[in-house]
Amino acid sequence: VAREVGLLPDEVELYGQTKAKVHLSALKRLKNQPDGKYVVVTGITPTPLGEGKSTTTVGLVQALGAHLHQNVFACVRQPSQGPTFGIKGGAAGGGYCQITPMEEFNLHLTGDIHAITAANNLVAAAVDARIFHELTQTDQVRSFLKLGINKTDPMALTKEEVNLFVRLDIDPGTITWQRVLDTNDRFLRKITIGQSPTEKGFSRMAQFDITVSSEIMAVLALSDGLDDMKKRLGRMVVASSKRGEPVTTDDLGVTGALAVLMRDAVKPNLMQTLEGTPVFVHAGPFANIAHGNSSVLADKIALKLVGKEGFVVTEAGFGADIGMEKFFNIKCRYSGLRPHVVVLVATVRALKMHGGGPAVTAGVPLPKEYMEENLQLLARGCSNLNKQIQNARMFGVPVVVAVNAFKTDTKAELALVVQMAKEAGAFDAVECTHWAEGGKGAVALAQAVQRASQAPSNFRFLYNVELPVIDKIRLIAQQIYGASDIELLPEAQEKVTLYTKQGFGNLPICMAKTHLSLSHDPEQKGAPAGFILPIRDIRASVGAGFLYPLVGTMSTMPGLPTRPCFYDIDLDPVSGEVNGLF
Amino acid sequence: VAREVGLLPDEVELYGQTKAKVHLSALKRLKNQPDGKYVVVTGITPTPLGEGKSTTTVGLVQALGAHLHQNVFACVRQPSQGPTFGIKGGAAGGGYCQITPMEEFNLHLTGDIHAITAANNLVAAAVDARIFHELTQTDQVRSFLKLGINKTDPMALTKEEVNLFVRLDIDPGTITWQRVLDTNDRFLRKITIGQSPTEKGFSRMAQFDITVSSEIMAVLALSDGLDDMKKRLGRMVVASSKRGEPVTTDDLGVTGALAVLMRDAVKPNLMQTLEGTPVFVHAGPFANIAHGNSSVLADKIALKLVGKEGFVVTEAGFGADIGMEKFFNIKCRYSGLRPHVVVLVATVRALKMHGGGPAVTAGVPLPKEYMEENLQLLARGCSNLNKQIQNARMFGVPVVVAVNAFKTDTKAELALVVQMAKEAGAFDAVECTHWAEGGKGAVALAQAVQRASQAPSNFRFLYNVELPVIDKIRLIAQQIYGASDIELLPEAQEKVTLYTKQGFGNLPICMAKTHLSLSHDPEQKGAPAGFILPIRDIRASVGAGFLYPLVGTMSTMPGLPTRPCFYDIDLDPVSGEVNGLF
């Protein structure tokens, strides 16, 4: 695959027989090559079952590549390994539209998430060890010597030596840096640490999050190169000092070590689809407390590799109100890349739910409304489709609606969605059957995308980052979600003041909101309007480069259900084959 | 390298440009090939600085391979990544005897340790989630359905379904399975978990250990193949039920998932030395609570690859009283392999310490006794060398003493060690200068090893596993350590009863003792005698296959010092080079 897509042998590092890492030097070599067409796949507000965004991404590139013979790349997120053993459902696509081998994709891959676990937890250990050593060492001169600094003139100290010497005076109550594991371990959601006598009573409350929620994952996804990644890794704020100043990873002296741990993770992973189309799998930040998009570097390298007439299809997490909004306002802002087409995935199932159909719940059989024709429910539910189309158009990019057909959908239903999408201003709307047919089932979609990519695109951001924090949040809430206003709870208000004072007020906004409604209430389907969006708190990912307002409580550590799917997973000890993964 | 050592292209998976994994199919293909000569490198009781066992291992294979043109392989342990960022000192060897590239060796390598972290913590999450779900679900019938079992006849249930259904009734007070991280994080030594309201008050005390102390690491090191690994992974005991029966990973239904997570880790990693000699880096279990030896599989594949006249040099952790004793009594017992030669590394520095020299402490300049000639101290300290030679000879294997020369050692000192080693019954004793000269400096050692490998070897175990637990412990204490007897504290006595009743009494013994003395007291240098060895407690690694008596308190989670070495580690963002790692 590597040779076919135009990579030189020394730009590729094989990892086993089905994966490779691509050197960033490829980007440098191709810097004068024009970029290809940039397509983002997003969706309407989904049911808890998901509506096939990953499958459509894979189907679209299979159609463009294997059937229409275009140069094409898919860029997708690496899934978290924890949930693989909890509740069924990977992100490799499905049916005849999959990234292969699926077990490599869903498990360790080339170790990028493991590297993030290691880097993240080194920071956490450094924070607590620093507090501990500062509080247990009263004799400054002795520590000075103990630190290995042999100078007597304080002015001769290097920046690193000063950092070593100066007390950071971290206020333990302000620590925002958490430990992470790539395991669904609910008992680590809230813990007390430091209870061994060796820690001399410095215990405190803490928590473990799932690794993909680490800021380092968001840094990886937004970095532009090794140098940029290192700078971002050094800017991460872990706490405030007792004087109210931000304490960064640079202050802890850990930046270089983090960069070393992330040295290989920064290289995108090359895999392929069932039909042999190349795929970059790289970075997988959370779509709520982070921006939920795969890496800037993978997109950039892919855009160079496909060349001017080629296509890069990248997927944004959750629905268009979340993943796509962040794709535009955060990812494209940092990358400088400009999208040509939005593909908006819709299903009859989800639209019926938005029209007032009964709740759709994982693990429970679908109510009959979803198995039989019901044009009324469907038509009503198209309010959500309409709003998400408007959301994409607001950024000035043409929208192609992909109606992902299920076998229970009737012709009339599929036709209705296509019609209503066009009426709502979609550039085109196309029925797709790639799940059952592979790339062949997405050829019409691919052709629509080709046409749309020739249409005028007039990309614009929703907001200027220089606006006050509150104004930026309000703009997203009103324009994208349909809220009438926002309401900041006291904690959020305090953070606006703090972050503005600390100089982080100009960062873009990454909303942490439920993906199950355009509003903050997952029960509100369709296109709710006139609600007040509550902002509970605001946090900062300064290294990644955004503030994230919390709309409600976000779980950052999933658990194992009563019947975890690890029961079904097995290895054939003779053939080495993995069974029961999905 | 892979081709040179006799591997077929489809037996090798490249991982980047300097590492590869070797398929276990190679072992099957070569099963009729005779094994090469099997050499184990061990040492006298070391100072806290270490005496160059890894360097000698690398020097010896460089001499045998690059200078004497023999087929040769080194088999070494993968180091833990945590301490890499804490206190200086890797295990890649040193000077001109290193495994290269050193930063790959010391960091992620091919992700084996990360796989162990993931597998270990999946077990931990499964234990707590199982207890939680059993205690919060009182309606058995509902759980029955919720478990996805659609049968009505209980007799028709498969073993897995029975496990799902039956309450394990884990006694939380008996949980021996701990979570792990490959990070030096002292604040995780003792923690309280389950304090989020979602866990409904089921909080308990727990701890994180460093990943290499996980039983899964010991399982990896002792496994004979994929099938054997899977069986061991399923036999691991995590707790007792309220009825006092052992609860295993198989009971939790997690065996298959563990095998899947460890599918790639089971394949040995191929690297090379500075002089191009092949090296397997595979598994790195703790040398106290585990057996401290690299993998059986790496040794087995290497022995086939070098052929009848070739040499495999494998290293055992700590001194001969610990690593070598476990190499013979645990590793060789499970592998069926029989060693030809023991190489015992000694230094003038350590022997002077055993002769009564002042304390040797990391980070503090060496006292003058170690910088100047002092034959008296040295002669007295040879009591330790003598005892360790006897320890090796007790197993019926010829011993070659490698005197690892430092630049401060005088000719007379080196000659004295050689002379006393021979008088103590070593097959030969040789001065080595490989640190400064590479393989060339170990040619005399290599020649001595060649001669010794032709000498009659009459290998025997120290004890029969069928002996009562207490007798096995006493035999090791008296024969190897020089104790007059052992004393079991009440907790240890209870465990002898428990494990014997549970059917684990016939496992070999893996002593968890300080490596800084032949006795239990690190201050007792030389060859102490007549002491009573206290056994504080006994634990079981049933999957790995040993009981481990605790002689004193073993730290299973290192911390970061005041001046952690991550301060010095940096990445050049342009070249991508790692600086300051050692």
Name the band, by pLDDT with cuts 50, 70 and 90, for residue A149.
Answer: low
pLDDT at residue A557 tops 50: yes
Cα–chain center distance at B92? 15
In the structure encoding, which two tokens stand for residue B15, read together?
Answer: 């991982």
Task: State whether B124 and A185 contact (CB < 8 Å).
Answer: yes
* Domains within chain A, CATH numbers bracketed: 9-111+265-454 (3.40.50.300), 112-258 (3.30.1510.10), 469-550 (3.10.410.10)
Q: What is the pLDDT of residues B21-70, one digit of tens each?
A: 999 999 999 999 999 999 999 999 999 998 999 999 999 999 999 999 99
Cα–chain center distance at A141? 47
Task: State whether B195 and A194 contact (CB < 8 Å).
Answer: no
List Cα–Cα distances, B134 to A85, A155, A282, B167, B337, in angstroms. 19, 63, 38, 7, 45
Q: What is the pLDDT of residues B451-465, one digit of tens each?
A: 999 998 899 999 999
The predicted pLDDT at position A162 comes to 61
Closest CA to B206 of A67, A528, A187: A187
Q: Exposed, middle or buried by CB within 10 Å (0-12, 13-18, 19+), for B366? A: middle
The predicted pLDDT at position B140 comes to 45
- Please say whether the beta carbons of B383 and B518 come within 8 A: no
The predicted pLDDT at position B437 comes to 94
Q: What is the pLDDT of residues B103-153, one digit of tens each?
A: 888 889 999 999 999 999 999 999 999 999 888 875 443 444 445 555 555
| Mean pLDDT, residues B384-411 taken together | 97
| Mean pLDDT, residues A279-298 taken together | 96
pLDDT at residue B491 tops 90: yes
Contacts of B15 in chain A (CB under 8 A): 13-16
- Please say whether the beta carbons of B263 and B275 come within 8 A: no
The predicted pLDDT at position B158 comes to 64
| Mean pLDDT, residues B359-372 taken together | 92
Q: What is the pLDDT of residues A166-206, one digit of tens each?
A: 789 999 999 999 999 999 999 999 999 999 999 988 999 99
Who has greater pLDDT, A455 or A145?
A: A455
Task: State whether A186 and B125 contact (CB < 8 Å).
Answer: yes
pLDDT at residue A263 tops 70: yes
Closest CA to B163 of B100, B247, B220: B247
Closest CA to B88 of B35, B44, B50: B50
pLDDT at residue B191 tops 50: yes
Name the band, by pLDDT with cuts 50, 70 and 90, for residue A127.
Answer: very high
The predicted pLDDT at position B145 comes to 45
- Please say whether the beta carbons of B551 and B513 come within 8 A: yes
Phi, psi of B21 (to 5 degrees): -105, 145
* Alpha-carbon span A473 to B542, nearest angstrom: 56
In the structure encoding, which two tokens stand for residue A311, read together?
Answer: 């296509």
CA distance B483 to chain A (A): 31
Task: State whether A115 and B126 contact (CB < 8 Å).
Answer: no
Contacts of A214 in chain B (CB under 8 A): none
- Sign of the CA dihedral with B248 first, then B252, B255, and B260 last: negative
Q: Exposed, middle or buried by CB within 10 Å (0-12, 13-18, 19+), for A573? A: middle
- Please say whether the beta carbons of A432 and A405 come within 8 A: yes
pLDDT at residue A140 tops 50: no
Who has greater pLDDT, B4 or A300?
A: A300
CA distance B48 to chain A (A): 19
Judged by average pLDDT, the poorest of A85-89, A228-232, B437-441, B543-547 is: A85-89
Mean pLDDT of chain A: 93
Task: State whether A137 and B562 contact (CB < 8 Å).
Answer: yes
| Mean pLDDT, residues B488-514 taken together | 97
Q: What is the pLDDT of residues A317-348, one digit of tens each?
A: 999 999 999 999 999 999 999 999 999 999 99
Q: CA-nearest residue of chain A to B106?
A: A261
Assign A230 to helix, strand or coil.
helix
| Mean pLDDT, residues B271-276 taken together | 95
Q: CA-nearest residue of chain B to A187?
A: B194
Contacts of B117 in chain A (CB under 8 A): 114, 117, 181
pLDDT at residue A142 tops 50: no
Contacts of B129 in chain A (CB under 8 A): 186-187, 559-560, 564
The predicted pLDDT at position B89 comes to 56
User: How many residues in chain A?
Assistant: 582
Task: State whether A567 and B184 contact (CB < 8 Å).
Answer: no
Q: Exposed, middle or buried by CB within 10 Å (0-12, 13-18, 19+), for A12? A: buried
The residue type found at B221 is A
First and final C-alpha spacing in chain B = 26
* Alpha-carbon span A63 to A97, nearest angstrom: 10
- Angle, CA of A579, B300 and B343, to the nearest 5°: 140
Residues of B annotated catalytic, as ranges: 53, 55, 77, 88, 287, 318, 406, 435
List Cα–Cα distances, B2 to B13, B26, B35, B71, B280, in angstroms. 10, 12, 19, 13, 11
The predicted pLDDT at position A139 comes to 45
User: Which uninterrupted H or E stretch holds A118?
Assistant: helix A112-136
Strand partners for B550: B512, B537
pLDDT at residue A431 tops 50: yes
Contacts of B103 in chain A (CB under 8 A): 260
pLDDT at residue A151 tops 60: no
| Mean pLDDT, residues A15-27 taken together | 93
- Please say whether the beta carbons of B505 and B550 come within 8 A: no
pLDDT at residue A155 tops 80: no
In the structure encoding, which two tokens stand for residue B219, read together?
Answer: 């399982």
Q: What is the pLDDT of residues A58-106, one digit of tens each?
A: 999 999 999 999 999 999 999 998 888 887 655 667 788 889 888 888 8
Mean pLDDT of chain B: 93
% chain B with pLDDT above 90: 82
- Please say whether the beta carbons of B90 and B581 come within 8 A: yes
Who has greater pLDDT, A150 or B81?
A: B81
Name the band, by pLDDT with cuts 50, 70 and 90, for residue B4.
Answer: confident
- Packed helices B215-222 and B112-136: angle between N→C axes, nearest 10 degrees: 130
* Alpha-carbon span A25 to A118, nearest angstrom: 25
First and final C-alpha spacing in chain A = 26
pLDDT at residue B155 tops 90: no
Residues of A annotated catalytic, as ranges: 53, 55, 77, 88, 287, 318, 406, 435
Which of A103, A129, A148 lies nearest to residue B186, judging by beta carbons?
A: A129
Phi, psi of A569 (to 5 degrees): -90, 130
Task: State whether B256 and A559 contact (CB < 8 Å).
Answer: no
User: Which uninterrupted H or E stretch holds B331?
Assistant: none
The predicted pLDDT at position A410 comes to 97
ipTM: 0.93
Which of B146, B207, B226 lies nearest to residue A563, judging by beta carbons?
A: B146
Task: State whether A129 and B560 contact (CB < 8 Å).
Answer: yes
* Alpha-carbon span A483 to A524, nearest angstrom: 12
